[in-house]
Amino acid sequence: MVDHGVDMKHAPRFLNLGDSALTVEFGDIIDQQLVETVAAFDRRLNRAIEQGALCAVTETIPTYRSLTVLFDPLKNSPEQLQQRLFDLLAEPEENLDRKIRYWSLPVCYGGEYGPDLERVANSCSLDPDEVVDLHSTQIYQVYMIGFAPGFPYMGEVPEQLQMPRLKEPRIRVPVGSVAITGRQTAIYPWESPGGWLLLGRCPLPLFDAGRTEPALLAAGDRVSFRSVTPADFDKYAEAASAATLDYSTFLKQGTGQ
Amino acid sequence: MSAQFNVIAPGVLATIQDLGRSRYRRIGVPQSGALHPDLAYLANTLVGNPVSTAVLEFFLIGPTLQLTEGSAQVALSGDFTAELRRGSKILPLTSWRSITLQAGDLLKIGPLVAGKVGYLAVTGGFRLTPVMGSCSTYLRGEFGGVDGHRLLAGSRLDLLAISAPQEPDRQLSQSAVAAVPGLIIAAETEGEPQQIRVIWGPQEDYFTSAARDLFVRSSYRISRDSDRMGSRLEGTQLDHDPERGSEIISDGIVPGAIQVPGNGAPIVLLADGPTVGGYPKIATVISVDLPILATLQPGRSICFRAVSTTTAEKLLRHHRQQLAALVEQIVPVATDPVIPAATLNRINLISGVVDGRRDSPEVPVTSDGD
């Protein structure tokens, strides 16, 4: 990857988001290094909160390039909070032992499952099978969860497969659709409108409000895909709706990197 | 035996809401919660509930509920009236009070006068299962509240309290409520848009200086296309700085953020709005004014005024003090409105001949049989 990394000698910008939130902006590009910088600051901030510091902070929202910090303005003014966040940024990062999760998720590619597979194959002069190989074997990083509950923005899509979104967005993208646009890929946890190109569908529910961990994926997870048949798709979908699916079987052991 | 409501008419967009969800934005789950938390707080306080108890929120036209079992004390907040049908009698009720209901009572709520949301709280709260730490309904995600749905005709609402209400009914005077800004929205007087205060940013630098100027100088109208996710505004289009464009790499959003997509028409994001978004946000509504904006009726005009974070904090502190002083003014309802059936019949007979009791809001003025 080309290193577009933000020059960390430049201090991040603190942007007001009303009177009860501020956004710490580290850069304004989509870049793996930048995502790591945000994630590291998020971890450090939440660790400080667990240790009883920064009691005014109620929640953080990590994105590609920034960390939004929600706080109670009657406990800390934005200026006070900004100073404390600035101090926290200046502290050397602890070497926290972090376990990265590697997922291998089943996807049924093409046909009714992925109505844009042929189109993508044609426009990059590849066989549909080659597109499936390229898309499924890449290891993606979950950059952030947003847009809708559990919706994972992931990157980075192999260069041959990078293409713009549809000119006319679809009114209905089926639940579980695995889609690409530009350098990003995602799985739609809900049926919704959408303009990304649909390559296939994943039978695992990405979001279930009844689970202890409602979202299957979290920012920082690594994801690759495994092409499965429609019969396997149905088998997984049935097991999921019967709540007999063991999601840990989709986690890869070891580093996988 | 616990009490239960049967939903006779669901009203408009009636959902269960509490203070909302916290700490799940990182997985894309919005805050949700009451659009006007102060009104929800007053309803809860009138029936002696903690502030975090889930209440029923409704838009424009309230629901009609029948208590099918047990007894219950409910409280109403918002700018509306209601009526209680007990047998063949009708009892007009004002908002800002609690009332004790008996099995068979029918409570018909609304419509709203000014503002577009109202609340009903019940002593002890509803029997619900929290999802991610909150009972708030998130319609788009289909979770929270009652199976993630809005109130439906024929559905039931179970109450948690198992014993009959012990406390007397209580009320706040309309004038005391009106003295706290933001609780009752005044009717629009000609040429006087409702002022909404904002803090610039986080992306005000994505707009031309002319657009920033227009934003605080012109007035906007609340579009019909507004819901719990956001209020769309109609009015002067805001031009993005052509050097920067109308899209950003997505960053975090909170309720009150005013995003401006490529068409230049601002949208104020509300409780059920997304957690991240890719349009520049010119400004963010301050905490004390957000419930006002979120609950203005479609067609109402507004204007924006920029303030500092220091001013916003002072206003919030002052507002909290006013609310605390307001709840100190809650008093028992002077005349017990639940008149014994015999008296009720006698009054009705009298009022049928000489209507000398009309001044008292607590006396039935009509009945089905009239």
Contact B199/A18, CB-based, under 8 Å? yes
Interface of A with B in 144-203 (CB under 8 A): 144-151, 153, 190
Residues A36-61: what's their mean pLDDT? 92
Residues B200-223: what's their mean pLDDT? 96
Residues B53-57: what's their mean pLDDT? 98
Tell me, yes or no, if A78 comes closer than 8 A to chain B by beta carbon.
yes
Determine the Cα–Cα distance for residues A24 and B336; give it in Å rounded to an integer: 56
A256: buried, middle or exposed (CB in 10 Å: 19+, 13-18, 0-12)?
middle
Residue at A162: amino acid letter: Q
- State the helix-helix crossing angle for B37-46 and B309-327, rounded to 10 degrees: 20
Q: Residue A163 pLDDT > 80, yes or no?
A: yes
Q: Residue A9 pLDDT > 70, yes or no?
A: no
Q: Residue B364 pLDDT > 50, yes or no?
A: no
Give whole-number Cα distances, A202 to A172, A173, A189, A236, in Å: 16, 13, 9, 9
In the three-class reduction of DSSP (H, G, I as helix; E, B as strand; rest coil), residue B343 is classed as: helix
Average pLDDT value over all residues in chain B: 89
Contact A28/B248, CB-based, under 8 Å? yes
Probe site for chain B from A4, A13, A17, A175 (most B CB atoms < 10 A):
A17
Contact A214/B132, CB-based, under 8 Å? yes
> What CA dihedral angle connects A76, B276, B138 and B229, to 10 degrees?
90
In the three-class reduction of DSSP (H, G, I as helix; E, B as strand; rest coil), residue B86 is classed as: strand
Among the residue ranges A58-72, B54-68, B180-194, the one predicted with the least confidence is B180-194
* pLDDT score, position B366: 33
Question: pLDDT-based confidence at B339, cuts 50/70/90?
Answer: low
Q: Residue A186 pLDDT > 90, yes or no?
A: yes
Contact A73/B257, CB-based, under 8 Å? no
* pLDDT score, position B338: 53
Probe site for chain A from B137, B270, B275, B321 (most A CB atoms < 10 A):
B275
Average pLDDT value over all residues in chain A: 90
Question: pLDDT-based confidence at A167, cuts 50/70/90?
Answer: confident
* Closest by Cβ to A78, choosing from B143, B251, B309: B309
Tell me, yes or no, if A46 comes closer than 8 A to chain B by beta carbon.
no
Contact A17/B254, CB-based, under 8 Å? yes
Determine the Cα–Cα distance for residues A229 and B98; give it in Å rounded to an integer: 60
- Give me the count of residues in chain B: 370
| CATH architecture type of domain A102-250 | Beta Barrel (2.40)
Probe site for chain B from A14, A19, A83 (most B CB atoms < 10 A):
A19
* Closest by Cβ to B251, choosing from A66, A74, A210: A66
Determine the Cα–Cα distance for residues B59 and B115; give it in Å rounded to an integer: 9
* pLDDT score, position A171: 87
> What CA dihedral angle connects A31, A35, A36 and A39, to 10 degrees?
180
* pLDDT score, position A181: 92
Indicate where chain B has its CATH 2.40.100.10 domain(s).
Answer: 194-307
Tokens of residue B192, six digits? 């006087």
Question: pLDDT-based confidence at A194, cuts 50/70/90?
Answer: confident
- Among all residues of chain A, which has the CA nearest to that of B308? A19
Question: pLDDT-based confidence at B359, cuts 50/70/90?
Answer: very low
ipTM: 0.88
Contact B286/A73, CB-based, under 8 Å? no
Tell me, yes or no, if A138 comes closer than 8 A to chain B by beta carbon.
no
Determine the Cα–Cα distance for residues A153 and B86; give it in Å rounded to an integer: 56
Contact A17/B281, CB-based, under 8 Å? yes
CATH superfamily of B194-307: Cyclophilin-like (2.40.100.10)
Residues B229-254: what's their mean pLDDT? 94
Question: pLDDT-based confidence at B1, cuts 50/70/90?
Answer: low
Contact (Cβ atoms closer than 8 angstroms) between residue B146 and residue B128: yes
Contact (Cβ atoms closer than 8 angstroms) between residue B254 and residue A18: yes
- Among all residues of chain B, which has the CA nearest to that of A59? B23
Q: Residue B283 pLDDT > 90, yes or no?
A: yes
* pLDDT score, position B337: 53
Residues B89-106: what's their mean pLDDT? 95
| Residue with tokens 């400080």, as numbered in its chain | A48
Q: What is the pLDDT of residues B152-163, one digit of tens each?
A: 999 999 999 877
Q: Which residues, in sequence order, are bridge partners of residue B98?
A: B75
Phi, psi of A136 (to 5 degrees): -80, -30
A-chain CB neighbours of B261 within 8 Å are: none
| Residue with tokens 């667990």, as numbered in its chain | A50
The helix (H) or strand (E) run that includes residue A57 is strand A57-62
Contact (Cβ atoms closer than 8 angstroms) between residue B309 and residue B283: no
> What CA dihedral angle connects B252, B255, B261 and B265, to 10 degrees?
-160
Q: Which residues, in sequence order, are bridge partners of residue B268?
A: B231, B258
Q: Above pLDDT 70, what percent of chain B?
A: 89
- Among all residues of chain B, which has the CA nearest to that of A75? B313
DSSP code of residue B194 = E
Q: What is the pLDDT of residues B129-140, one digit of tens each?
A: 999 999 999 999
Residue at B195: amino acid letter: Q
* Closest by Cβ to A148, choosing from B23, B28, B286: B28
Determine the Cα–Cα distance for residues B54 and B151; give it in Å rounded to an integer: 14
SS3 sequence, B206-261?
HECHHHHHHHHHCEEEECCCCCCCEEEEEECCCCECCCCCCCCCCEECCCCEEECC
Region for residue B28 given its phi and psi (left: phi exceeds 0; alpha: psi -120 to 50; beta: otherwise)? left
Determine the Cα–Cα distance for residues A237 and A84; give it in Å rounded to an integer: 47
Tell me, yes or no, if B319 comes closer than 8 A to chain A by beta carbon.
no
Q: Residue B2 pLDDT > 70, yes or no?
A: yes
Q: Residue B360 pLDDT > 50, yes or no?
A: no
DSSP code of residue B189 = P
Distance in angstroms between the alpha carbons of the first and the last residue of chain A: 15
* pLDDT score, position A147: 83
Interface of B with A in 325-364 (CB under 8 A): none
Q: Residue B291 pLDDT > 80, yes or no?
A: yes
- Each domain of chain A, given as residue ranges in start order, spans 13-90, 102-250
Q: Is the dihedral of CA B256, B257, B261, B265 positive or negative?
A: positive
Distance from CA of B28 to the nearest CA of A (A): 4
Tell me, yes or no, if B285 comes closer than 8 A to chain A by beta carbon.
yes
Q: What is the CATH number of domain A13-90?
A: 3.30.1360.40
Contact A23/B256, CB-based, under 8 Å? no
Residues A243-249: what's their mean pLDDT? 91
* pLDDT score, position B336: 53
**Interacting residues of B186 by C-beta distance below 8 A, sequence separation 6+:** B114
Tell me, yes or no, if A37 comes closer than 8 A to chain B by beta carbon.
no
> What order of strands is seen across the sheet that includes strand B64-69?
B156-158, B4-9, B64-69, B106-112, B80-86, B89-94, B366-367
Q: Residue A2 pLDDT > 50, yes or no?
A: no
* pLDDT score, position A137: 96
A-chain CB neighbours of B275 within 8 Å are: 61, 146
Determine the Cα–Cα distance for residues B177 and B181; give it in Å rounded to an integer: 8
> What order of strands is seen across the sheet that includes strand A21-25?
A13-16, A21-25, A66-71, A57-62
Q: What is the pLDDT of residues A98-138, one digit of tens each?
A: 789 999 999 999 999 999 999 999 999 999 999 999 999 99
* pLDDT score, position B314: 97
CB pairs under 8 A between A and B: 142
Residues A228-242: what's their mean pLDDT? 96
Residues A50-74: what's their mean pLDDT? 94
Q: Which residue in B206, B249, B322, B67 sits closest to A143, CA to CA?
A: B249
Distance from CA of A39 to the nearest CA of B (A): 11
Q: Which residue in A136, A100, A142 sits closest to A117, CA to CA?
A: A136
Determine the Cα–Cα distance for residues A115 and A197; give it in Å rounded to an integer: 8
Residues B161-190: what's their mean pLDDT? 88
Contact A19/B309, CB-based, under 8 Å? yes
Tell me, yes or no, if B287 comes closer than 8 A to chain A by beta carbon.
yes
* pLDDT score, position B350: 40
- Among all residues of chain A, which has the CA nearest to that of B203? A15
Interface of B with A in 194-213 (CB under 8 A): 199-203
* pLDDT score, position B166: 83
